[in-house]
């Protein structure tokens, strides 16, 4: 008896997805609610659970195919699937030489299995760095490799050569005049396609402009160092910089509401709340989960929300609700070492704040040149809605709040 596995409801306004990866192969044992496939939507990766226990049957669609909500993608058959092979008994000393012979074949099979379960992005990184994927410990679901796993392994052993198994599994490189040169074509994920379309649409629709300022991080750093341990002990979460900037954005948005608004046809929509989209790096690309009602959250509440969203982004467990909405975006390129950037608006929002790395620079204070930890701030905004005076005032308010955090407490 067969049971059909259908594409589940993916969220409001999301009607289709792409098969990103098959987590179970025909003949594998499957438990109730065990994920059998991963779907890529416009915003997040969604796992498809098995409705019944049994054996993985036919895979009706292939990786990369587009499927609609409710479409049948596989079947689950009644019965018991393939059991994991029992470990072989230790060979007698006299038989060690004969037992050692099949090892290369087993190793090759293991390598190929590892390669076939890697996502295209991870596989590309493995090829670029010439690593043996079977020697990398995966931190993803069911031990699968993530981009972070590969990058960590590359930093630890940059000169490791690619294994024959990986080379065999890789596509044949295009012909070229020089040895060792290769190219690979990988289909863009649905998420990457959506990111590309939305960002290009933002450039074509909004009258984007970026204004810059810098801020002295001395007071925030001092406050953070002073209360770091007691804050973590009381709230169970680290005190970071993002809570200071989120509170500063809430303060500035109260005075300049257009930055936290959007254009809808010939109308302007203003929000009396602040839902901050926090740009987070995830294995499948950049995602922007949302901290809801940030204007009413405490420092601890903001830090807990960000920590939870960041953790689930790396695990690939963010939901559509986590990604839907948002009235303003904060993008922290400083964690990657970026000195300055012009961030692109996340439509239909009207502004995005870009944070950058902190570095010691000479500045003038009270007529003297001193060294201070400085950070460049960048505010990209839709000039159709936000005037230059408002944008400069908004960024100046953030700068003043960061340089004097007491302002965040007395709403000044």
Residue 73 and residue 209 share a domain = no
Flag whether pLDDT at 162 surpasses 60.
no
pLDDT-derived band at 284 (thresholds 50, 70, 90) equals low
Residue 344 and residue 269 share a domain = yes
Does the active-site annotation cover 28? no
Query: Exactly one of 33, 229, 321, 383 is catalytic; which is it?
Result: 383
User: Higher-confidence residue: 265 or 41?
Assistant: 265
What CATH number corresponds to the domain at position 70? 2.40.50.100
Residue 227 and residue 337 share a domain = yes
377/355 Cα distance (integer angstroms): 5
Tokens of 196: 């590309």
405/399 Cα distance (integer angstroms): 10
Is residue 402, in this structure, part of any structural domain at all? yes
Tokens of 313: 């982004």
Residue 254 and residue 212 share a domain = yes
Residue 328 and residue 362 share a domain = yes
Is residue 185, in this structure, part of any structural domain at all? no
State which of 139, 174, 209 marks the end of a domain: 174
pLDDT tens by residue, 331-350: 988 888 889 999 999 888 99
Concatenating the DSSP letter of every residue in 335-399 gives GGT-----PPP-TT-SEEEEE---EEEEEEETTEEEEEEEEEEEEEEETTTS-HHHHHHHHHHHH
Is residue 84, in this structure, part of any structural domain at all? no
Alpha carbon separation from 335 to 30, 279, 295, 376 (Å, rounded)? 40, 11, 24, 13
Residue 325 and residue 278 share a domain = yes
3/104 Cα distance (integer angstroms): 39
With CA atoms as reference, report the closest residue to 394 among 227, 219, 213.
Answer: 213
Tokens of 346: 């996340």
State which of 53, 77, 101 marks the end of a domain: 77
Tokens of 347: 């439509």
Flag whether pLDDT at 107 surpasses 80.
no
Residue 211 and residue 317 share a domain = yes
| C-alpha neighbours within 13 Å on the C-beta side of residue 31 | 2
Residue 239 and residue 147 share a domain = no
Is residue 82, in this structure, part of any structural domain at all? no
Q: How many domains does the chain have?
A: 3
What CATH number corresponds to the domain at position 264? 3.30.559.10
pLDDT tens by residue, 42-86: 666 778 888 888 888 888 888 888 888 888 989 988 877 665 444
Does the active-site annotation cover 129? no
Residue 251 and residue 385 share a domain = yes
Which structural domain, as residue segments, surrounds residue 376?
191-410
Lowest mean pLDDT among 29-38, 229-238, 284-293: 284-293
What's the farthest any 2 CA atoms get from each other in the chain? Answer: 86
Residue 204 and residue 165 share a domain = no
What integer pLDDT is reported at residue 86 of this predicted model? 47
Query: Exactly one of 33, 255, 387, 404 is catalytic; which is it?
Result: 387
Q: What percentage of residues in the chain have a pLDDT greater than 90?
A: 38
Flag whether pLDDT at 175 surpasses 70.
no
Is residue 195, in this structure, part of any structural domain at all? yes
What integer pLDDT is reported at residue 70 of this predicted model? 85
Residue 217 and residue 347 share a domain = yes
Residue 169 and residue 196 share a domain = no
Q: 179-183, 324-328, 373-377 — which one is most confidently predicted on average?
A: 373-377
């Amino acid at each position: 008896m067969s049971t059909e596995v259908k594409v589940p409801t993916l969220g409001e306004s999301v009607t289709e997805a792409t098969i990103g990866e098959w987590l179970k192969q025909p003949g594998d044992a499957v438990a109730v609610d065990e994920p059998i496939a991963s779907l890529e939507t416009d915003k997040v990766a969604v796992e498809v659970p098995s409705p019944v226990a049994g054996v993985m049957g036919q895979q009706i669609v292939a990786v990369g195919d587009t499927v609609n909500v409710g479409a049948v993608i596989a079947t689950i058959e009644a019965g018991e699937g393939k059991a994991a092979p029992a470990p072989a008994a230790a060979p007698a000393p006299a038989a060690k030489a004969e037992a050692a012979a099949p090892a290369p074949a087993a190793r090759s099979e293991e390598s190929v299995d590892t390669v076939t379960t890697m996502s295209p992005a991870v596989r590309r990184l493995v090829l670029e760095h010439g690593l043996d994927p079977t020697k990398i410990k995966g931190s993803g679901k069911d031990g699968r490799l993530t981009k972070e796993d590969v990058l960590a392994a590359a930093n630890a052993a940059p000169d490791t050569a690619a294994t024959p198994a990986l080379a065999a599994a890789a596509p044949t490189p295009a012909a070229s005049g020089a040895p060792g040169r290769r190219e690979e074509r990988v289909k863009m994920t649905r998420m990457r396609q959506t990111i590309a379309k939305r960002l290009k649409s933002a450039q074509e629709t909004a009258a984007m402009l970026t204004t810059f300022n810098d801020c002295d991080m001395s007071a925030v750093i001092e406050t953070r160092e002073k209360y770091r341990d007691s804050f973590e002990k009381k709230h169970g979460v680290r005190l970071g910089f993002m809570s200071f900037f989120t509170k500063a954005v809430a303060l500035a948005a109260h005075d300049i509401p257009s930055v936290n608004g959007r254009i809808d046809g010939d109308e302007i929509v203003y929000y009396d709340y602040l839902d901050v989209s926090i740009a987070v790096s995830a294995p499948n690309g950049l995602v922007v989960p949302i901290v809801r009602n940030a204007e009413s959250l405490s420092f601890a509440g903001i830090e807990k929300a960000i920590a939870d969203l960041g953790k689930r982004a790396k695990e690939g467990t963010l939901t559509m609700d986590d990604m839907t909405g948002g009235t303003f975006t904060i993008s922290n390129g400083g964690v990657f070492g970026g000195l300055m950037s012009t961030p692109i608006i996340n439509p239909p929002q009207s502004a995005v704040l870009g944070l950058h790395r902190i570095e010691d620079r000479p500045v003038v204070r009270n007529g003297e040149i001193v060294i201070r930890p400085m950070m460049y701030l960048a505010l990209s905004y839709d000039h159709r809605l936000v005037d230059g005076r408002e944008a400069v005032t908004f960024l100046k308010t953030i700068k003043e709040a960061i340089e004097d955090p007491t302002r965040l407490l007395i709403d000044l």
